[in-house]
Amino acid sequence: MSYEHFKGRYEVEFKFRLHDKASFLKILNAIDHEVMLQDNLESDCYFDNKGELLAQGKSVCIREMEPSGIKLWIVKGPESDRCEATNITDAVSAKSMLKTMGYEVALSMQKTRSIYFVGKFHITVDYLQGLGYFAEFAIMTDDDTLLEEYRLQLLELASRFGLTNDDIEHQSYRQLQSQLSL
C-alpha cells in the first residue's frame, strides 16, 4: 500500500456513475492492480462559515475512515484541480479547532469506499445511500504541467472499463448529497 498516490497539491479526477458494479469489478480483477482498502466506511464532515468557502469554490473536510483508522484533513479549491490532504491523528480536536475558528458543520455524509491502485492512478469505488455507486479515477501531483496529460490518461483508463463521457458525474458528492437533503 502506497500513500505516495495521495501526495500533491493537485488532483486530476473523473467521477463516473456505475450502472453495474459487478461488471466493473470483474474488469478490475482482470487487470494488474493493488488493493489499498475495501469497504471502509468514510464519514465526511464539511465545514464552512455561512457559505463563504462554498461561494469561493473551496471546501474543508475532516474525514474519518473505519476500520482502517485513517483520518484526514482535506482542503479543495478554489481551482477545480486544487486539492490537498494530510493525515491527522485526532479528528475530534481538528473539528473543535475549526469550530473555534468560526466554522460550522455545513454537511455530514457517509459513503462506503474501496480504493485500488492501477499503476500511478488510484480508483475508488464508492456507494452513497440514496445516490448509488460511483467510480473515481484520479491522480495527485505537484506538477501542474501534467494535468492535461493526466486527464487524457485517466479517460483512457476509464474507457477500458466501458465508461464514457456520458457516465461522468460532474457534481461533487457534497453537491449531490445536498440535493438529497432538499
Share of the chain above pLDDT 90, in %: 85
pTM equals 0.89
pLDDT at 158: 98
pLDDT tens digit sequence for 57-103 = 999 999 999 999 999 999 999 988 899 999 999 999 999 999 999 99
Residue 4 pLDDT > 80: no
Domains, the chain: 3-181 (2.40.320.10)
Burial, 110: exposed, middle or buried (Cβ in 10 Å; 0-12, 13-18, 19+)?
A: middle
Residue 5 pLDDT > 90: no
Average pLDDT in the chain: 93
Rounded Cα distance between 174 and 15, Å, is 13
Phi and psi torsions of 58, nearest 5°:
-120, 155
pLDDT at 48: 96
Rounded Cα distance between 21 and 132, Å, is 10
What's the gap between Cα 138 and its chain centre? 8
Mean pLDDT computed over 176-181: 81
Nearest to 12 by CA among 154, 130, 116, 115: 154
pLDDT tens digit sequence for 23-53 = 999 999 999 999 999 999 999 999 999 999 9
List residues bridging with 181 in a β-sheet: none
pLDDT tens digit sequence for 91-142 = 999 999 999 999 999 999 999 999 999 999 999 999 999 999 999 999 999 9
pLDDT at 3: 57
pLDDT confidence band for 22 (50 / 70 / 90): very high
Q: Which of 3, 10, 46, 173 is catalytic?
A: 46
pLDDT at 1: 43
46 catalytically annotated: yes
Q: Is the dihedral of CA 123, 43, 6, 51 positive or negative?
A: positive
